[in-house]
A and B are shown apart, each in its own frame.
Chain A
Amino acid sequence: MIYQIIFDNNEVFNGGDSLFETKWKEIPEDKKIRTIIYFIPTQAGLILSNFKRIYHYVEAVKDLNGSESGKIKIEFTYLIIQRNNKYIQYRINQKSGDIEVNILEKDSRYITGLNPVFWKNGNEN
Chain B
Amino acid sequence: MATALLVRTNIVDADVTYITAPADYITMDLTNDYLIWSKLLADLMTHEPTADELNAAAEVIDPSLAVTVTKCLLMDYSHDIGGSYYTHLVKGMGENKKFVYCFSFDGATATEPQLETWDSSAHSTCVKNVLGIGVPANSMIRGVCTTTTLPGTGWAGASLAGASNVLLLNDGLGAILTATDLYANLKIVIPAAFSTPAAETFVICVRYTYV
Contacts and interface: CB of A to CB of B under 8 A. Distances in A.
Contacts, number: 104
Kindly state the interface size class of chain B when it binds its partner: 20 to 34
Contacts of B35: 64-65
Given A58-B211, A63-B121, A65-B201, A21 B111 contact: no
Q: Is the interface of A mostly helix, strand, loop or mixed?
A: mixed
B53 interface: no
Q: Is the interface of B mostly helix, strand, loop or mixed?
A: loop
Kindly state the interface size class of chain A when it binds its partner: 20 to 34
B25 to A, nearest CB: 15
A78 B110 CA distance: 10
A117 B7 CA distance: 26
A65 B116 CA distance: 12
B203 A65 contact: yes
Nearest to A65: B34
Given A60-B209, A64-B7, A72-B2, 20 more contacts: A20-B2, A55-B211, A57-B209, A59-B208, A60-B5, A62-B205, A62-B206, A63-B204, A65-B30, A65-B203, A68-B121, A69-B34, A70-B30, A112-B174, A113-B174, A115-B109, A115-B111, A115-B175, A117-B108, A118-B108
Interface of B: 1-2, 5, 7, 28-31, 34-35, 108-112, 120-121, 123, 172-177, 201, 203-211
